[in-house]
Amino acid sequence: MSEVVKLQLIGLTIVGSGVLILLLIRAQFVRVIGFVAIVLGLFTLVALSVPQMASLPPVEEKFDIATVKTPTDMATIGQKIFFSKGQCALCHTIGPSESARCPDLKGIGAKLSREFLFESLTQPQAYIYLDYRHEGQPKEYPARMPYINKNPIGLSKNEILSVIAFLQQMSGEPISVTVAELEVPGQASAAPVKVAQSGPVDVAQAH
Amino acid sequence: MQQQGGWIQRLLQAVKGQGGMLSGLLWAVGLLSLPALAFGADVAPAAATEYRDIPYIGSRNLVWVVAQLHLLLAGFVLGVPIFAWLCEVVAWKTGEKRYDKLAKEFTKLLTSAYATTALFGGILLFLLISFYPKLMNYLTDIFFPSFIVYCLLFLVETATLYLYWYGWDAMQDGGKKKFHIFLGFMLNFFAFFIMIVPNSWATFQASPVVLAEGSDLARAWAATWNPTWWPVNIHRLIANVVLGGYICGAYAGIRYLSARNAEERDHYDWMGYVGNFIGVFGLLPLPFAGYWLMREIYQYNQQMGITLMGGFLSWLFILQAMLIGVLFLGSNYYFWLGITYRIPGSELKYRKPMLSMLIILLLCLGVWMTPHSLVASLEEARKMGGTHHPLLGVFGVMSAKMTVSNLMILVTFMSFIMYWRAGKEETAGWAKAAKAVMSSLLVLAGIAVVVLGVWGYFVPAIVRINYFSTSQVLIVLFVMLTITPLTALLLKSAKTTTEMVWGKMPPRAGYALVLNAIMVILLMTLMGYARSSSRVHWHVYGVLRDSSQYAFSPALGYAAAIMALNTFVFCMIVAFIFWVATMSDKAKAPHS
């Protein structure tokens, strides 16, 4: 007997009990309980009569670096990270959208160098634009971007490089990140990604 | 290994000179334990427990039942003070003591109801910590400051409740009464914050924002202001008023059915009228708040919106339509019974309009409940030319559903106004013009809602959602906000032609009130399941994945069985609270 049939039988029994209570019992409170039982039983029976669709979780993606053979593989992994663990899509869009809360990343891989992208992900406050669209002193745009390599997102260097590969591929650029740069788990980084040399805060002007 | 060797050396130095035997023994023990040290060096620290379970029931089911009961009780204890305070203000303004008595009768429930709600809250917290430690650690890390605020709010709320309840009789006259009403306001003020703080935790799970580094307070604040926080706050606030009103109505209905004398019948008939009135008052704007919430969900994440409205949860909205439809029918039916039995002579006058309204409501309900795609066999689908019925499929889309839901609100509003005006004769000189304006407004609004609904089929979805549906909502709101004060003004100088007769309602009126309360409770359980399931396999949407064995969302039939169970248990708990709270009154009352 399937679960649905079992539940239907329970529902029918509850409705039947409610009807019997209304027919046989005079005590008002018990009659109200019988009425409630009928209503709830009917509700369950109606819900059991519509298509029964459960939502099953998809198979969890494993980002196994050992399977990465080409920069395109990295971009594929980077795309998955972009829309899941990296949480990039919570704020950024690829292409204009009304719901975007942060800059549109369409073509970003062509506009910015990979070093600048790495720095933006790991040191979001390092390069801050100034807003001149008002009288007086220019205001700093506080970067809302979180540190991607720290908690709660906490992407590893390999994952960040994969995201950069995806951003470059998505912008129609050749992928400049190579598989050789990936760190094998358990080994320390031999050659860290070159980060744009900068002071504590670099300032650019936005007009 | 180096560290381990170090402590062995220090130990040997410490026992030097204590005799060769002890030294030899230590060497032997040390040598024997070397393999264990080697194993110990390789063993990683034990992984933190992410989930725990219990046999037979399952941790998810248990948390589901307890969380739902806690939320329903919380809705009750937040809705009742609003209801009681409104009644107290009416009594203070109009001088009608029975409203004050009603307010007191319901406030009396609060002390035991608060304790029960807190009890379920405590059980829920222990269950969550035990069954979902990973999730609770994550949420605690983010919301720790608001946990403290929540505790402080409970302290001030409890103190205010004690003052409000125990000071009721002592603060009845002059300035003291004003202070008592102020206390009632503060009770609701704190209660509102008690509601919105945990709302931020739940809404963050559904619509998280990225948290940058910062102080604990800054992170908690950023997480609190997530996109669905305020839509849920407003939706829950209104829903709590509705719940409070309809539960008052159901209580009155049961007491009316078991009343032993005319005095009791009069009192509980009137109480049922007030409960239904407040319930409908909240019910009318509730769909608009729901619409706002859905818009925000779509804006936040279109995929989540699609999961709700077009994905595996789409049939849930057919059930929702059924429940709301029955609720609208039940509320209107109670109004119509009131017109028929409480206002002698009105039955003939209003029979035709009532029949027309019933037909409109049933037609609207039929359209609202029409699914977009039908469950059909292969042969049936071939005959229809797909899963969409050539005629019925037209009613299954949002344009039709938005139109009929707005029409149902308009019809219920008409019933409400009709009941308000029944048995009264307007004496103001401008009454005729005002009535003409109100009638024109209603007719024009109805036409505009239908025209926008039909037009909605021929424009892109984004235009329909952003402009047409919003316009429909604004038109209906405009009608309600215009006609309500106009009617109030008109009836201020009106002459009562027929006095209300209380206690003459048939028993089915009592059952209608119980039915309405059950519909509201079922709706709350259904939409709780919808909100939770819209996160699919995420504890925190897109951020913290549910990797337990319960990461799936169960099918509607199974979920409905749990919802029915929760509704029944909640009703029994509320009945118990009413019984306990009124026990002393019954003991004091003279035996008849």
Q: For the segment A53-76, what is each residue's pLDDT rounded down to a tens digit?
A: 888 887 766 667 778 889 999 999
Q: How far apart are CA B293 and CA B119, in angstroms?
A: 30
Is B536 an interface residue toward A (CB < 8 Å)? Answer: yes
- Which residues in chain B are contacts of A53 at CB distance < 8 A? 312, 315, 555-556
With a CB-CB cutoff of 8 Å, which residues 144-173 of chain B face chain A? none
Q: Distance (Å, rounded) from C-alpha B364 to C-alpha B400? A: 9
Which pLDDT belongs to residue B48? 79
Residues of B in contact with A58 (CB under 8 A): 537
For position B26, what pLDDT does the model report?
A: 44
Contacts (Cβ under 8 Å, ≥6 apart) of A119 = A126, A127, A195, A196, A198
Which residues in chain B are closer than 8 Å to A7, comparing Cβ atoms? 557-558, 561
B207 touches A: beta carbon within 8 Å: no
What single DSSP character describes residue B553?
B
Tokens 């937040």 found at? B78
Question: Which chain B residues contact residue A51 at CB under 8 A?
Answer: 315, 375
pLDDT, one tens digit per residue, over A163-185 is 999 999 999 889 999 888 888 76
Series of mean pLDDT values for 10-residue runs along chain B (592 residues) = 42 45 48 45 64 93 96 92 91 89 88 90 96 95 94 94 93 89 96 95 91 84 93 94 92 92 92 90 86 85 75 84 92 92 85 92 90 64 61 77 91 90 84 91 94 88 80 92 92 84 93 96 95 90 88 93 97 92 71 48
Query: Does residue A37 belong to the interface with chain B, where contact is any CB pair within 8 Å?
Result: yes
pLDDT of residue B162: 93
Q: Is A50 on the interface with B (CB under 8 A)?
A: yes
In chain B, residues 85-114 whose CB comes closer than 8 Å to chain A: none
Contacts of A98 in chain B (CB under 8 A): 299
The answer to whether residues B563 and B525 touch, using CB atoms and an 8 Å cutoff, is: yes
Contact B556 A56 (CB under 8 A): no
Which helix (H) or strand (E) is B515 found in, with range?
Answer: helix B507-533
Among B208, B211, B553, the residue with its CB nearest the CB of A55 is: B553
B568 touches chain A (CB under 8 A): yes
CB contact under 8 A, B561 and A84: no
Cβ contact B487:B417 at 8 Å: yes
Q: H or E element: which one contains B342?
A: helix B316-342
Judged on CB neighbours under 10 Å (0-12, 13-18, 19+), B280 is buried
Of B210, B254, B515, the CB nearest to A146: B210
Closest partner residue to B210 (CB to CB) among A52, A60, A87 is: A87
Interface with A, mutate which of B139, B141, B204, B210 (most A CBs under 10 A): B210
- List all residues of chain B from 285 to 304 with a beta carbon under 8 Å from chain A: 299-302
Asked whether the beta carbons of residue B375 and residue A50 sit closer than 8 angstroms, the reply is yes
Would you state the pLDDT for residue A100?
62
ipTM score assigned to the predicted complex: 0.84
| Confidence label for A202 from pLDDT (cuts 50, 70 and 90) | very low
Nearest Cα to B397, choosing from B433, B367, B377?
A: B367
User: Measured between beta carbons, which residues in chain B are less than 8 angstroms from residue A81?
Assistant: none
From residue A26, alpha-carbon distances to A20, B252, B508, B510 in Å are 11, 19, 15, 15
Q: How many distinct helices (H) and strands (E) make up chain B?
A: 21, 4
Cβ within 8 Å, pair A124-B302: no
Task: Quickly count: other Cβ atoms within 10 Å of residue B586's Cβ.
Answer: 9
Instruction: Quote the minimal CA–CA distance from A31 to chain B in Å.
Output: 10
> Is the Cβ pair B552, A56 closer than 8 Å?
yes
Test B315 with A91 for CB contact under 8 angstroms: no
Cβ–Cβ below 8 Å for A40 and B559: no
For residue range B111-155, list pLDDT tens digits in order: 888 899 999 999 999 999 999 999 999 999 999 999 999 999 999
- Interface mutation target, options A17, A53, A61, A92, chain B, most CBs of B under 10 Å: A53
